Chain A
Amino acid sequence: MANSVNISIEAPIENQIQEITYDGQEIYQAPLSMSENLARLAQKIDFSKTEDEFCNIKKEGESSSDTKSDEDNKDQSYQSSLWPWDSVRNKLRSALTEVSVLADVLNIAKEKRYMVLDPVQPEKVESRPMVQVYGRKKALSAAAAVLQAGMERLRASETMRMARNMPDFHIDLLRLRQNWRLKKVSNTIIGDLSYRTAGSKFSQTGVFEVTKAPEEQIAQAMSMNTGGPPPSALRVTVPPELQGVAFISVLCQKEQEEVVTATLSASALSCTAGEGELHWQQRLEAAQNVLFCKELFARLAAEAVQLDASIPHMVVGNQIMATVLPGIQLLIGLCHNNGQTNANANVEGVKTEGSSSSGKSDHDHVLEHSLHQLLRAVHHANTHHPFPHPATGPLGPSKRRCLAGPMAADRYELLDMSKEQSLLEQIIQQAQHFFMRRRSEYVLDTIAKEVKDPLIVSHWNALNSPTQSCVKINIMAHGYDAVCRTSLVVHVGEKTLKCICRDGKVRHLSYELQELRDLIYCQIYQHQMTAVQAVGRCMGWQLLASSAHLGSGPVEPLGNASSCLLASPNGDRMIAIRCEPSVGIQVFIAQSPRKDFFSSELVQDKKWENLGGAFKEIKLDKMEGKNFLNKMELLMACLSSPS
């Protein structure tokens, strides 16, 4: 509370700064010397002002000559700036002359012999009050006439409106103003329906005009639909190029030989005929949509021409063709139905084919919505630049850009920051991902249908992005899912798949279906092998040997053969399992004291029968059991003998 604060007072910098160098040094102007200072002050004296104050009897001729001489003096001071006292001397001399003349006149007038000073009465101004009164009365009556004429008109339109119960122009205009931006320009009301304030930089303007609907039309409309809503008193005129309905059609299809394929049937676009029937809100919204679609298509077409893809994109008329994956094309078209004459004739540049009845049914609404969202995101980024933190920073640079300095970003990082993906690239990526996802789904579904023995369960993640999805695949046998379960995760990208298996191996697959299919089959057979070993453990059987990549036997076309050898709890039985992805599973059993041992001359001792017999193959398809694991469990059960 009673803190004393030191206050230091110092005079501010007296010398003007002439220049600031880039290292922050300030160079001051040298202060003026005494004589320079005096000369500067003397130049500032304005002699014309002092003359007017003292001499009231100045005639206009003399004052103009003074101003002329002032100008001369100014010119002179520009020319002879070496001697600033010249103008001062001239001024003083002329002042002296004037004062001497004045002194002489006063002396002569004081003597009263040759000159006398007399007071003069000012002239009286005649007052004419009646003229003023008449003038004011005339002006007021003119003003009253104007006001009365306006009032008569308003009263007439009001009574007419009340009589016929017609819609009010001003109320309708208020409603229009609540939804759209209007401006009054001289006599007309102009509105703007473009996305310019939302961040669009499209050059086409969306200007519409609002006028009063003629009364006959309103009366006619009211008499025609008595039950419906009353027509509005406004009429909006939309520019002709924005009339009608438009949408962007996005189609993914197999590659066709013809360059231009017709995709739109004229009946796909519905447009109510007639200008007067559509409410102004619908008409304005339709026009705004047309403008948006035009901007979107113009941007995509420009990008298609500029982008350097391996297979170049083609722009033909109102269609853009881009190759998404080998054999798959993406067709983006602008469909605009002007609706002026009959709908059939005005579909621009498209001929209908009988075979391609796909039309609007194949049109991908999701990708169209994505395109709309992408353009809106571009608009948003145009207006919402990040604010600087701290507040005195420059407006504009993003956070990464601000950090580029202190974090010592190199040239390549800076260039990367400035690159951004175009709309066409983004939509192509989304289309690619859509295809990859559909293909992966198809592969998994077919495998699940084909392979019944271990069950293939796939869980697709509910949360995904337009360019990435995730699926978790569980391979398990019915009834044995607690014993052994193999799972793997597949990340579906735009053109590649990434499989992460439980053992930690990450495999990157391309867009070919066959690779995923092969991988799943290999995983299935690996699962069988590990599951059998797990079941054996449960049953008490011992694992003698196992090999995941067996080198014996014929070369496998797909993957590697794997095998394992199990021994019963008391060691007298053995099961050998060989698993091959292309052939299937083969099971062999052997028992330890050989049943077919007969002593011969070479091998005489009886003890050699314990070495174990030959392996005999089991016909798995004749065995009882729901699935392979069940069969193995039953086999192990019946081979385990109590001892």
Chain B
Amino acid sequence: MSANAAPITATDSLSQALKANIIPNQEYLLQGSVLDSAVEVLLHRLRGLCDNVDAGPETFDDQEVCFSLRDPNHHQAPPLMLRVRKALDARDMPFQLRYIGQPDLGDKNRPTVVRSSLDIACSGMLIEFLNELGCRIEFEYSVKGYMFRKGRMKITVAKVFKISQNSMPPEPISQSYLVELSVLAPQGQDAIGEDMRAFADQLRPLVQLDKIDYKRLGHMSVS
């Protein structure tokens, strides 16, 4: 048994991982919505298209709190938005701290929205830690729905609820479900966008998944 060589330090392995471009820090995203009356049909279609037909669709129930961190020296700079998400139906899973960047406004012909996304699993002390750092709560909401997967792609059909203060049941903010098709991948894997677009085309006309530009949300026509 040969003696072990000097163990690789954590920073070395991290820089190797960065160079090899294996850290999935980009999210490719397509979004759409369906009315409550039409969601059953969509779920049936997704059950047929997606993997794992034998098991039923996976449900999830999450709560998300969004924090903002402002730089006290530069008041004009936009604040850093951080999201903390916890699973209400799986209490033993860790909290998730998420940073989502602005969408990459590169190519207009890109089939999906590409934005930087970093997910970190954290222990339960996260919220106190962020409060100590100086973050303030911007908003919070809860999401409940179904999750499907096809290969690397993840499709969620979920309803967004407002969190009520007292122990009343949460009320939905709209009569519709939000449908999201997303893939977490390292940089440079743009071919996945074509696969996502092809899959989204299979879901037409039940739901239209598109790139949503948040800045122009007010000008979008309701069709």
Hey, which bits of chain A sit against chain B, CB under 8 A? Answer: 12-13, 16-17, 20, 24-26, 383-385, 387-395, 399, 402-403, 405-407, 411
Contact = CB atoms under 8 A, between A and B. Distances in A.
18 contacts: A13-B215, A16-B105, A24-B99, A385-B149, A388-B154, A389-B60, A390-B62, A390-B85, A391-B62, A391-B85, A391-B145, A391-B147, A392-B119, A393-B121, A394-B24, A395-B149, A403-B121, A411-B7
B89 interface: yes
Contacts of A383: 51-52
Contacts of A13: 78, 102, 215
B30 interface: no
B80 interface: yes
Which residue, A16, A392, A395, A399, has most C-beta atoms of chain B within 10 A? A392
A12 B213 CA distance: 12
B98 interface: yes
A389 B87 contact: yes
A394 B94 contact: no
A329 B102 CA distance: 63
Interface in B93-130: 93-96, 98-99, 101-102, 105, 116, 119-123
Interface string B148-171: 010010101010000000000000
Contacts of A392: 62, 85, 96, 98, 119
Q: Which of A16, A388, A389, A407 has the most CB of B within 10 A?
A: A389
Nearest to B148: A387
Contacts of B149: 385, 387, 395
Contact of A384 (B55, B158, B184): B55
A389 B89 contact: yes
Given A17-B102, A24-B99, A393 B152 contact: no
B132 interface: no
A29 to B, nearest CB: 11
B191 interface: no
- Among A16, A20, A25, A407, chain B packs the most CB atoms within 10 A around the CB of A20
B93 A390 contact: yes
A26 B74 CA distance: 13
Contacts of A399: 92-93
A391 B142 CA distance: 12
B143 interface: yes
A145 to B, nearest CB: 38
Which applies to chain B's interface (DSSP): helix, strand, loop or mixed? Answer: strand
A26 B101 CA distance: 9
A405 B121 contact: yes
B58 interface: yes
Given A383-B52, A387-B58, A402-B94, A20 B147 contact: no
B92 to A, nearest CB: 8
B153 to A, nearest CB: 9
A389 B184 contact: no
Contacts of A12: 214-215
Contacts of B5: none
A393 B51 contact: no
Contact of A402 (B58, B93, B101, B116): B93
Contacts of B99: 24
Which of B62, B86, B121, B123 has its CB near the most chain A CB atoms (within 10 A)? Answer: B121
A197 B94 CA distance: 32
Nearest to B100: A392
B90 interface: yes
Given A393-B119, A394-B24, A387 B94 contact: no
A641 to B, nearest CB: 72
Contacts of B123: 406-407
Contacts of A387: 58, 60, 147, 149
A405 B94 contact: yes
A25 B122 CA distance: 21
B119 A20 contact: no
Given A26-B101, A403-B94, A391 B60 contact: yes
A405 B98 CA distance: 15
A357 to B, nearest CB: 44
A383 B95 CA distance: 26
A399 to B, nearest CB: 7
